Amino acid sequence: MRSSAPSARHARLRAGALALGGTLVAGVLASCGSDASDSGGGGGDVTLTVWTWDQPGEGLEAAIPAFEEEHPGITIEVENVGNPAIWDKITTGMAAGGSGLADIMNVGVDYMGNYIETFPDGFANLSELGADELAPEFPTSLFGSAQNASGEVFGIPYEVNTNVVFYRKDLFEQIGVDMDAIATWDQLLEAGIRLKEETGTFLFAMDKAASQADSANLWQILARLQGTFFFNEDGEIALSDEGSVEALDFIRRANDAGVIADIPGGWDNLMTQVKGEANTALLASASWMAGVFPENAPDLSGAWAVRRPPAMAEGGYTAASAGGTFLSIANSSPNKEAAWEFVKFSMATLEGQELVYEGAGLFPSYRPMWETEAFTAPNEYFEGELVNQLFVEALSEDTPPDYYTADYAQALKAYTDAQTQVLLSGADPEEALDGAADLLKQQTGREVAQ
């Protein structure tokens, strides 16, 4: 198994940066699951279909030969549905009572709660198949994101991500800045102003016009570092609380200081930053990006470095969730027991996890993988840094969970509109977020947190 993430040639912007759109809304066939009988585990051959997308699909493909050898009679077929196309396809199938759904589906954490709430019978109840016993093997916050209010489990974690900061060590060294000594985002902003003045390089980039939902990524990181998010644990709108406003105000101050490059969203434009073509020095992103740099920017090996994010204030959080994905089983599948065997093998055994990691390089949710010698080996691209150990430490920090709710898509749109007002029209962050929260209240009927 390689010490650093293998090929990421098909990686795409992850779930968590994609809006759900108008297809998945509360009130649309709120209980449409099928009660199809389960013939999995019985006699005869079984063919299971898995819906996923590029990179996670490569990991699952890598585990299939060993699984099929251990489970004669079960054949696994992986379909690359694409991301975000998969969300519309799953939603359509659930709205049709499970008709046409794959046996197994790869689901992003930001979509999981929406599906469970809107289609409570859409996914198979994995607690009935023994999933509760696996809970200690996975991060608590992520495992809990696939549970309903009664604690029943509807997905097993695939990958888990934490937010980190990738930065051009060579550029900061050029101006005499030791990035290890940067403790807060305000200190980072000061360094960014120096960098721009002395080298002409922007600190980071944003899609100021919010052409894609990913333009909210930085705010989400900064908000999480202050223990807040779009909603709180009671389902109230937290978009305009103190931490949320401070996060947007930081972005406003960075924009006023002229250190933000205006680069539209999209994978190709993200790659210009990775390759050093965009004249930016820092990329605040998720840990899965560590596997993207070696293939897309091999000439910059040793120039890029990675660290945990600074705190928003001295002594604050230096870790922030970046979501993850799950494998779920359709309740309409006639082969749920067979599907469960593949989910367990690929997600919850060392044999399966080593194959999946070798195939895709996505950071595993399965805790026993974190302790293997090969997984904790130095990362050559980042000059021997113990990158995976850095991620494990961040994931081990006790940070608040994210509350997405079924209204995440609307909240994301309300926020990005407010952000655009601030960045392009000079709006006041507090007033912009107050307006966004009020709009979201009108749209959803939720109360604004006090």
Q: Please count the other Cβ atoms lying within 10 Å of the Cβ belonging to residue 66.
A: 16
Phi, psi of 202 (to 5 degrees): -75, 150
Q: Is residue 21 in a domain?
A: no
In a domain, 420, yes or no: yes
Q: Is residue 6 part of a domain?
A: no
Do residue 336 and residue 408 come from a single domain?
no
Averaged pLDDT, 15-21: 35
Section 137-165 average pLDDT: 92
Enter the pTM of the model: 0.80
In a domain, 415, yes or no: yes
Q: How many domains does the chain have?
A: 2
Q: Which helix (H) or strand (E) holds 304?
A: strand 304-307
Between β-strands 204-206 and 260-262, what pairing exists: parallel, antiparallel or unpaired? parallel
Q: What is the mean pLDDT of residues 428-447?
A: 98
Do the domain assignments include residue 406? yes
Contact indicator for 199, 324 with CB cutoff of 8 Å: no
57 and 156 both lie in a single domain: yes
pLDDT confidence bin for 373, thresholds 50/70/90: confident
State the angle between helix axes of 408-425 and 242-256 in degrees (0 to 180), rounded to the nearest 10.
Answer: 40
Instruction: Identify the DSSP state of 128.
Output: G
Residue-range definition of the domain harbouring residue 179: 162-320+402-444
The CATH number of whichever domain residue 409 belongs to comes to 3.40.190.10
Asked whether residue 284 falls in the same domain as residue 338, the answer is no
Asked if 256 and 200 sit in the same domain, the reply is yes
Q: What is the structure's pLDDT at 2?
A: 31
Q: Are 83 and 54 in contact (CB under 8 A)?
A: yes
Same domain, 356 and 427: no
CA distances from 411 to 400, 414, 435, 436 (A): 19, 5, 12, 8
Residues 167 and 279 occupy one common structural domain: yes
C-alpha 411/C-alpha 235 separation (Å) is 12
Residue 134 resides in a domain: yes
For the ranges 11-20, 127-136, 337-346, which has the lowest average pLDDT? 11-20
232 and 313 share a domain?
yes
Mean pLDDT, all residues of the chain: 89
Confidence (pLDDT) at 44: 67
Contact in structure between 238 and 400 (CB atoms under 8 Å): no
Instruction: Give the burial string for 335-352 (b: 16+ CB within 10 Å, else e).
Output: bbbbbbbbbbbbbbbeeb
Average pLDDT over residues 266-283: 95
- Concatenate the DSSP letters of all residues of 65-96 into one string: HHHHHHSTTEEEEEEE--TTHHHHHHHHHHHT
Residue 442 pLDDT more than 70? yes
